[in-house]
Amino acid sequence: MKNAVYLSLGSNVGDRAENIVSALSFLQSSLFADIKKISSFYETAPIGPKQRSFYNIVIEAQTDLKPDDLLLFIKQAEHILGRRKTIRWGPRVIDIDILLFCRKIINQTGLTVPHKEIQNRLFVLIPLSEIAGDFVHPVLKQKISGILYDKSLTLKCQKVKIIQTNIANRSLKN
């Protein structure tokens, strides 16, 4: 049975847009999931140490994997795509997080779903609201668009125009 999953992807090293597009291609071609929706690209100031700003997107996908298998797959994908462990909140070639897995609530070592910071991060809320505004957060019991509307977060997050790219016959919005 296919499970709906929402993932955030971000990059602030090298060609940020290309890193994200490469990650999308890898995810789609690896048969981990079928990517259904891709948000626009957004640029956001980093959290933590002084570094370059991030490009971020959110995707909706369908997967047969269980949540812990998906997490393991994502960690392996990040490594294959060039991510290496450095300092907490440091620069990253690619960062992929599980935001939502169906409507499940998961609290286990190394995996919390929904992601515990969804409601605090505009770089997640804005693109997630763009592709799944009516999705009801299973813990907060609010639509994603409602959570976004209620927020007066100060972290700057703006849409970035990216050259049209085709991923498995789906165009990235710009």
Q: 121, 3 in Cβ contact below 8 A?
A: no
Provide the domain count of the chain: 1
Q: Which run of H or of E encompasses 76?
A: helix 67-80
Can you tell me the distance from the alpha carbon of 168 to that of 136, in angstroms, rounded to the nearest whole number? Answer: 28
Residues facing residue 159 across a β-bridge: 42
C-alpha R_g of the chain: 15
Can you tell me the distance from the alpha carbon of 41 to that of 81, in angstroms, rounded to the nearest whole number? Answer: 19
> What is the residue-level pLDDT of the chain in tens, covering all 174 positions?
789 999 999 999 999 999 999 999 988 888 677 899 999 999 988 877 788 999 999 999 999 999 999 999 999 888 888 877 776 666 888 999 999 999 999 999 889 999 998 888 889 999 999 999 999 999 999 999 988 766 665 567 788 887 545 543 443 433
CATH number of the domain residue 85 falls in: 3.30.70.560
Give the domain range for residue 146: 3-171
Catalytic residues: 83, 92, 95, 97
What does pTM read for this prediction? 0.87
Q: 170, 38 in Cβ contact below 8 A?
A: yes
Alpha helices in 95-170 (DSSP H): 122-132, 144-150
